[in-house]
Structure 1
Amino acid sequence: MSLKILQTLLLSNFLRRHSSSLTNGEVRLSQILKENFPRAESVKVLDISGGCGAMYEIHVISEEFKGKRIVQQHQMINQALKDEIKSMHGLRIFTSVPKLD
């Protein structure tokens, strides 16, 4: 399976599971990411710890990642969330550059 197909499936699954009401942690992390990635086409944050804020899944699609390897993109996310990460048990990060039409 190609990486793009896998990313699409993961994002689709993420969106299906994500309810319309966000936890405080999801809102806070989303705001931080939107501030740090102002050109982001999409920022999605999901508390996958059952609501306690111990583990999150993050999806960011942004032009800021253009020309960067995946590891560099993830480092950018980690840097933006460095203070919040200190209190987390885990973080799953999915990043990509917007597709050209």
Structure 2
Amino acid sequence: MTSTIRVCEVTDFGGPEVLRAGERPRPLPGRGEVVVRIAAANVNPTDLSARSGAVRRRAPNLRPPFVPGWDLAGMVSDVGEGVSRYAVGDQVVGMIPWVRIG
């Protein structure tokens, strides 16, 4: 397993031209958290508003570079301390809270 993951990131506010492939450190779960290997994600109006910068009224701390995407489906790849409801290998769907974007 590598120490990084591949991501699509927003490098500036704007149109599709501000998207680029990038790498980020592989996330580690905190207490009560799981890490999900994402198999599918959608692009919804919130993602488009975040990319364009229109969402800054609701999320003034959102600044590029960031990884868009709030809705996902995938498989649990790691679990943090205290997690009992999920196990590695479980298939899950989820929505990431605004404060955890990126």
TM-score, scaled to structure 2: 0.26
Task: Name the larger-Rg structure.
Answer: 2
TM-score, scaled to structure 1: 0.27
